Amino acid sequence: MRKWRHARMREQAAGYLFILPNFAGYLVFVLAPILFSLYLVFVDWEYLKGFDGIRWVGLDNFRALGSDPKFVESLQNNLVFTVISVPGSMIVGLLLAVALNKYVYMRNALRTMIFLPYMSSLAAVSVIWSVMYNSGSGPINAFLRSVGIDHPPGWLSSPHSALYAIIIMSVWMTIGYTMIIYLAGLQGISKDLYEAADIDGASKPRQLLQVTVPMLTPTTFLILVTQLIWSFQVFAPVAIMTQGGPIDSTMVLSYHIYLEAFRFYKMGYAAAMSWVLFAIIFVVTIVQWQGQKRWQNHF
């Protein structure tokens, strides 16, 4: 009995020791910052004056959000970005995965090529596309003119097209990701289902819609939530290609937070916005979680 208790004690001690390095780091670099940030949302801080510059303002930071045109614009742009880019890359990724799974030769080579943009760094990719988007004589507009479009879009230089230019690049980049996840999902579908559908005389497009797509629903939920979260946090392309311009047409939440915090040192206000971003991500995740549960109960 005594020996047994001794062993339990040793296991306890080992448990704490194993967790210690990670937990210490977690306390300092994750938990403490989160708590401090929760405090920051209630203050106005003249950062350069140090801790003396802190003034308690209650909910003023959140009240200010409504009258900040840049914040409103950021939300709208994030929404447009998400609503177009997420379904766009999911549909293309699904079609590619279905084709790659069964109907092509040279599967690995094609997969690598399509996957390449996703592996590369956003910084390098943003640099390349900025030059290609050059409205005067870049290769994209040169091509458009050569096929008879006399007034191609101004891309990054025009407030009407800049956001869409970034969306196109993002879809191009994330197709590889959605394709890979869908490919993994497809391997899990039993061949019997397709044989049964064949015997029932279902055409291939009908099989795609009535066998493949429903069977892939868990995969779709997974991709949807990661893509949604990613698209609400988009930062590097905006910072590198447009800095939120022209005339705030590509201003997004993460970049607005960056400017307020690290250019203007309005720490309290920026912290408030960062928690709005968290709230959006939180709601999106909960909604998809509920949706997935309902779907699972349904079948």
Partner 1 sequence: MHTINEAATSRRASARRSPGLRAAGKAIVTVVLAAFAVLMILPFLWMLSTSFKINAEVFRYPIEWIPQNWHWENYRKVWTGPNAFSIYYLNSIKITGITVAGNLLTSAMAGFAFAKLRFKGREALFLLYLSTMMIPSQVLLLPRFILFDHMRLINTHWSLILPGMFTVFGTFLLRQFFSTLPGELLEAARVDGAGFWRMFWQIALPLTKPALVTLMIITFNWHWNEYEGPLIFLRDRHLFTIPLGLTTYVEEMGTNYVLSMAASVSSFIPLLIVVIVGQRWFVEGIANTGLKG
CB of 27 or CB of 59, closer to partner 1: 27
Segment 57 to 86, residues that bind partner 1, using CB under 8 A: none
- For the chain, first and last CA: distance in Å? 51
Q: Verify binding: residue 226, partner 1, rule CB under 8 A.
A: yes
CB of 1 or CB of 17, closer to partner 1: 17
Given the rule CB under 8 A, which of 60-68, 160-168, 208-216, 275-283 is the region that contacts partner 1?
275-283
Tell which one of 180, 216, 228, 251 touches partner 1 (CB under 8 A).
180
# residues near partner 1 by CB under 8 A: 99
Q: Which two tokens stand for residue 99?
A: 């084709």
Q: Rounded CA gap, 113 and 206, in Å? A: 29
User: What is the rounded (10 degree) CA torsion for 287, 269, 165, 154?
Assistant: 150
* Cα angle 105, 111, 115; round to 5: 165
Segment 229 to 258, residues that bind partner 1, using CB under 8 A: 229-230, 233, 235-236, 239-240, 253-254, 257-258
Binding string, residues 100-139; x marks residues near partner 1 by CB under 8 A: x--xxxx--xxxxxxxxxxxxxxxxxxxxx-xx-x--xxx
CB of 18 or CB of 56, closer to partner 1: 18
Given the rule CB under 8 A, which of 71-79, 82-90, 97-105, 152-160 is the region that contacts partner 1?
97-105
Q: Verify binding: residue 184, partner 1, rule CB under 8 A.
A: yes
Tell which one of 80, 222, 292, 295 touches partner 1 (CB under 8 A).
222
Q: Where are the alpha helices (DSSP H) in the chain?
A: 2-26, 32-40, 60-66, 69-102, 107-119, 122-132, 139-146, 162-187, 191-199, 204-207, 213-215, 217-232, 236-237, 253-262, 267-298
Q: Verify binding: residue 1, partner 1, rule CB under 8 A.
A: no
Interhelix angle 267-298/217-232, rounded to 10 degrees, is 170
The three-class DSSP label of residue 43 is strand
Segment 12 to 51, residues that bind partner 1, using CB under 8 A: 12-16, 18-19, 21-26, 28-34, 36-37, 40
Q: Verify binding: residue 167, partner 1, rule CB under 8 A.
A: no
Please choose, from the candidates 175, 183, 176, 133, the residue with its C-alpha nearest in 3D space to the C-alpha of residue 154: 133
